[in-house]
Structure 1
Amino acid sequence: GKRVRLPPGGEGKRLYCPGCKGLLVDRPLPAPTTQVPATGPTSRPVLEVPLEPLPVPAPVTPPPPRRSTPARPWPVLLVLGLIVGVGGLITWSILAGWWNPEHRQAQASPTTEASRAAGDEFTNTLGMRFRRIARGSFRMGASDADAPENEGPVHRVVLTRDFYLGIHEVTRGQFEQFVKATGYKTEAERGEGGKGWNLDRDEVETDPKYSWRFPGWQQTDRDPVVNVSWNDAVAFCRWLSKKEGKLYDLPSDAEWEYACRAGSNTPWFFGDDAEQIIRFGNVADVSGQKRFRVVLEIKGDDRYEFTSPVGSFKANAWGLFDMHGNVWEWCADGLRTYTQEPVTDPLGAADEERALRGGSFGNDPLKARSSHRLGFGRGNCLYNVGFRVAHYPDGQPRASRPRRMRQLDADFQLASCLFLNKIR
């Protein structure tokens, strides 16, 4: 221990010991052991006492920092909950009978049939504009009392791939570029001629003078090409595919109606009032009544006796023009017999007459309805028949798509549509 000198009266005082690293001594001191005499006139006696440092307390190890509890993964739990809920609703919808034909007859809004990508279009080197048509499901056909037998029964159709459809019918000017590039001669030019309109007698006749170049009246390059057969239209698509390095073809019968309806379930894509067709399509009206001797069903006048330049009327909700009227349009497949069962990517038989859609300038509005269709032989060339082109970005011709892939796509699309219909 160390010794310090303590002046008298310092017993029991608090001391700090030099060299003791600041240890505090605050207990009473023991009795003095030695008294040192004063050495100077003013000095006082000094006591010497032993001073023992206090024991150094053991260092305290701080507790480990508390590990913060991670935040609960609410977004993950929410997503998992939604997945489970959606799966349950889809299952419940199926078990509740939504696969029955009666439920498939229910009215559907455009937003429940397929999602659109606004502004998703492109223009090819011929100046042809194409609009994306998203895959989806729709009610095909008509059940009206005045609908022809081949339009029913109404049934659910699932289309499993996106495609692009020309927003206009192929024009005379575009077809002429094909002819100049290839030297192609249409079936009307190679055979007995097409069916043209005799302006003197106001009737249809077959004559070698009639072809796409002259159907009986003068056309502009912006008018839809007519007097082309199904084979001529396919030849154009093959040339365009090679030229552009993309797959072009005629739309299928189902694809055409799906695109025409644009999500609607009414007789025409704009509604059920035939008088309104004057705003959306070129059909037989006051201008054509005398020439075509049709029973006038509407009072308006669109000022066109024959074909009109493409895009002269309002488009449907998906941006497609002239889906009602102007000229009939060839489809890729033959006429298919409808049943009530849901079908996936339907195609008519190859040996059947090819489907024609849309009506023409010489037909009444009933023949321009979304569901109306005719069948003609693939070699026929008529003054009021043209075509519209589709582009398939996956590059796969219809026959080459794996059946299993089409079925999986169809199951997903149909389940999605059922779920969306249920929650609205």
Structure 2
Amino acid sequence: MRFFLLCLLMLPLGSNGAELLRPYPFHDLLKNGASCQVCPEMVRLPAGDFYMGAFPGDGHSDERGPGGVPFSVTIKRSLAMSVSEVTRREYNAFIAANPDHSSGPRCGGFVAGRFSGDIQQGWRAPGFDQGEEHPVVCIGWQQARAYARWLSEITGRSYRLPTEAEWEYGARAGSITRYWWGNQMVSEHVNCGRPQCDTEFSATAPARALDSNGFGLYHTLGNVWEWVEDCYQADAYTLHFRDYPKAVSGGERCKRVIRGGSWNEGDWSVRASNREGWLPERPLNDIGFRVVRDGGDMPI
């Protein structure tokens, strides 16, 4: 194991197979070829390899692969990922086109320092002030998937939630460190709920308020937790390490993985390898999501 760790630590940033190019954001077009102003801005992630999971002593047991160390995952095809968490403006366009989805499941979360189990207005008023470019919160896992299906319908592309491995690949952006920028907290890079983090925002920050990582992705760490496709299993990495980046499947009511930490969490939660499981039908005001689209090609 010492040799394995030494080899990883000797790798220069970005040498894990990721083709770190200057990111070029784009919007997909509608089916009729018109510009889609309500579609999220996307960026191409290249195919590549990365090490998934935490090093010994730097994470929970559910973050480690066989032997207690990270394991190699190959992203075989390029894909596109939204540069930020889906915003209130973008989600509102979905609701306007699909009013049946306007009332989602009951939302909970911290409001003025106290936990509330019933934020009655849900994503429209999650217990703190938000602008249209803030990430939408109080969205259940099913509602996030419905939004992705709607994008697929209006663009003719294949949108979905990222798998857990795809999410970590994007969040790391070629790094093998605790955070995408290194192993030490840098407050200017992340919005979370402790003094070590950026202190400008009392709750969510606008979706592009802080720095982007090497793939051009904003707030992969901090701001809001993000739903991914996978069912949560504490021993998933040891049981399924050969299957990644495919999503871990399970029953309809399984807990779903959330990644990235949030405005309400400490610096320990915003590590690139940290993973939690949460009830898909029980949204919180610090959980949002981003989407991926199969195929990394960009409209001309």
TM-score band w.r.t. shorter chain:
0.7 to 0.9
Cα shift at 1:117? 4.1
Cα shift at 1:342? 4.7
Please name the residue that 2:89 is paired with: 173
Deviations 1:169-220 (A, max 9, x none): 000111011001111335xx355x2114332xx2111225240111111210
Please name the residue that 2:123 is paired with: 212
Please name the residue that 2:261 is paired with: 359
Deviations 1:150-171 (A, max 9, x none): 0012111112111001111000
Is the contact made by 1:354 and 1:375 (CA closer than 8 Å) also made in structure 2?
yes
Is the contact made by 2:43 and 2:216 (CA closer than 8 Å) also made in structure 1?
yes
**Cα 1:178–1:146, aligned 2, differ >3 Å: closer, same or farther?**
same
Structure 2 CA distance, aligned partners of 1:101 and 1:392?
Answer: 37
Q: Does the alignment pair 1:229 with 2:137?
A: no
**Cα 1:159–1:190, aligned 2, differ >3 Å: closer, same or farther?**
closer
TM-score by length of 1: 0.61
Please name the residue that 1:152 is paired with: 64
Cα shift at 1:248? 0.5
Q: Which runs of 4+ in 1 moved over 3 A?
A: 100-105, 340-344
Structure 2 CA distance, aligned partners of 1:307 and 1:105?
Answer: 38
**Cα 1:318–1:301, aligned 2, differ >3 Å: closer, same or farther?**
closer
- What SS does structure 1 have at the residue aligned with 2:211? coil
How many aligned positions are there?
Answer: 277
Identify which of 238, 243, 249 aligns with 1:339. 238
- What SS does structure 1 have at the residue aligned with 2:50? strand
Is the contact made by 1:327 and 1:384 (CA closer than 8 Å) also made in structure 2?
yes
Gaps of 5+ in 1: 1-99, 287-297, 396-424
**Cα 1:185–1:313, aligned 2, differ >3 Å: closer, same or farther?**
same
Is the contact made by 1:117 and 1:132 (CA closer than 8 Å) also made in structure 2?
no
- What SS does structure 2 have at the residue aligned with 1:158? strand
Identity score, percent = 29
Identify which of 208, 217, 220 aligns with 1:311. 208
Is the contact made by 2:232 and 2:256 (CA closer than 8 Å) also made in structure 1?
yes
Structure 2 CA distance, aligned partners of 1:319 and 1:304?
Answer: 22
Please name the residue that 1:182 is paired with: 98
> Comparing both chains, which one has the higher relative contact order based on Cα–Cα distances under 8 Å and sequence gaps of 6 or more?
2
Say what the alpha-carbon RMSD is for the aligned residues: 2.3
Counterparts of 1:251-400 in structure 2 under 5 Å? 251-274=162-185, 276=186, 278-286=187-195, 298=196, 301-336=198-233, 337-339=236-238, 342-351=242-251, 352-393=254-295
Q: Tell me which amino acid in the other structure corresponds to 1:167.
A: V
**Cα 1:147–1:323, aligned 2, differ >3 Å: closer, same or farther?**
same
Cα shift at 1:259? 0.8
Please name the residue that 2:80 is paired with: 164
Is the contact made by 2:20 and 2:214 (CA closer than 8 Å) also made in structure 1?
no
Structure 2 CA distance, aligned partners of 1:394 and 1:316?
Answer: 18
- What SS does structure 2 have at the residue aligned with 1:254? helix
- What SS does structure 2 have at the residue aligned with 1:217? coil
Q: Does the alignment pair 1:248 with 2:143?
A: no
Structure 1 CA distance, aligned partners of 2:18 and 2:2?
Answer: 20
Higher helix share: 1
Gaps of 5+ in 2: 29-35
Is the contact made by 1:156 and 1:342 (CA closer than 8 Å) also made in structure 2?
no
- What SS does structure 1 have at the residue aligned with 2:268? helix
Counterparts of 1:95-110 in structure 2 under 5 Å? 103=4, 106-107=7-8, 108-109=11-12, 110=14
Cα shift at 1:232? 0.4
Structure 2 CA distance, aligned partners of 1:198 and 1:279?
Answer: 24
- What SS does structure 2 have at the residue aligned with 1:355? strand
Please name the residue that 1:59 is paired with: none
Deviations 1:356-406 (A, max 9, x none): 0010001111100000010112111101000001111289xxxxxxxxxxx
Structure 2 CA distance, aligned partners of 1:101 and 1:378?
Answer: 39
Deviations 1:74-125 (A, max 9, x none): xxxxxxxxxxxxxxxxxxxxxxxxxx99548732330342214434432131
Cα shift at 1:350? 2.6
Is the contact made by 2:119 and 2:126 (CA closer than 8 Å) also made in structure 1?
no
Structure 2 CA distance, aligned partners of 1:310 and 1:204?
Answer: 24
Is the contact made by 2:104 and 2:139 (CA closer than 8 Å) also made in structure 1?
no
Structure 1 CA distance, aligned partners of 2:244 and 2:53?
Answer: 15
- What SS does structure 2 have at the residue aligned with 1:282? coil
Structure 2 CA distance, aligned partners of 1:257 and 1:228?
Answer: 21
Structure 1 CA distance, aligned partners of 2:6 and 2:162?
Answer: 25
